[in-house]
Amino acid sequence: MAHLLLLSNQAENAAEVLPALELLLHEITFFPATTESLAQLPECDAAILDARTDLVPARSLAQLLHTNLNVPLLLVVSEGALGILNSDWHAADFLLPSAIPAELDARIRLMLSGASVPAPAPVAAESTSGLRIDELSYTARIDNRMLDLTYKEFELLKYLSQFPGRVFTREQLLHEVWGYDYYGGTRTVDVHVRRLRAKLGTDHEQLIGTVRNVGYRFYTES
């Protein structure tokens, strides 16, 4: 029997997220899928994250769980989310909510008997531009000056800075930062870039460059 953490904002118990889970003999501890829960999570054998909706926050939390818990992570996803799962989620496995008890039990056993979990990634990263991003506290600094960012501004800046020099179209940024279920237009990206540049200040606004008729790229040096 394993001790499993189940994190969800879309349900109040395990049966609503993964009906098969309540038919097994594992010990389950339920927590909200929020960053505030990270400080309260007990030791466990594995974590299960409800990623059926709100995919961008779910991916961010999955990355934080990988850094903080260092235990295997199982994602519960809808069929529509399968196309965007990748190594950025740091998940050991995934399954659909409709999984039967035998499948779920097999996945848990294989996950727990697999190779050791890789060492956590660094909590904070600093580029040659002087930009320092801390994923745990959701804060960003430039030349030791704290940036007053909204959640989406932080996510956009973090995403761009992870791929210095790479050009992203507005559609790509919209999908990666806002999620595939977001129905707003690409002008949303332009507005957030403009706000980010203003908050970075005149000395660093050029960190986010515009590629005419294409989109945006992050430069490592101001």
**What are the tens digits of pLDDT across the range 122-163?**
444 555 568 898 877 788 999 889 999 998 999 999 989 888
Concatenate the DSSP letters of all residues of 158-185 into one string.
Answer: HHHHTSTT-EEEHHHHIIIII-TT----
Which is more confident, 88 or 8?
8
Q: Residue 165, exposed/middle/buried by CB under 10 A (0-12, 13-18, 19+)? A: exposed
Residue 216 φ/ψ, nearest 5 degrees: -135, 155
Q: Look up residue 214 and give its two tokens.
A: 């294409």
Q: Look up residue 176 and give its two tokens.
A: 């990666």
Question: What's the mean pLDDT when you consider all of the chain?
Answer: 85
5 beta partners: 29, 47
Question: What are the chain's domains?
Answer: 3-113 (3.40.50.2300), 131-218 (1.10.10.10)
Is the per-residue pLDDT at 119 higher than 50? no
Instruction: Give the pLDDT score at 176.
Output: 82
Instruction: Give the pLDDT score at 8.
Output: 94
Q: Look up residue 121 and give its two tokens.
A: 């990634």
**What are the tens digits of pLDDT across the range 151-209?**
899 999 998 988 888 888 988 888 888 875 566 678 899 999 999 999 999 999 999 99
Say how far apart CA 3 and CA 1 lie, in whole Å.
7
20 contact partners, CB below 8 Å, separation of at least 6: 99, 100, 101, 103, 104
**Amino acid of residue 85:** L
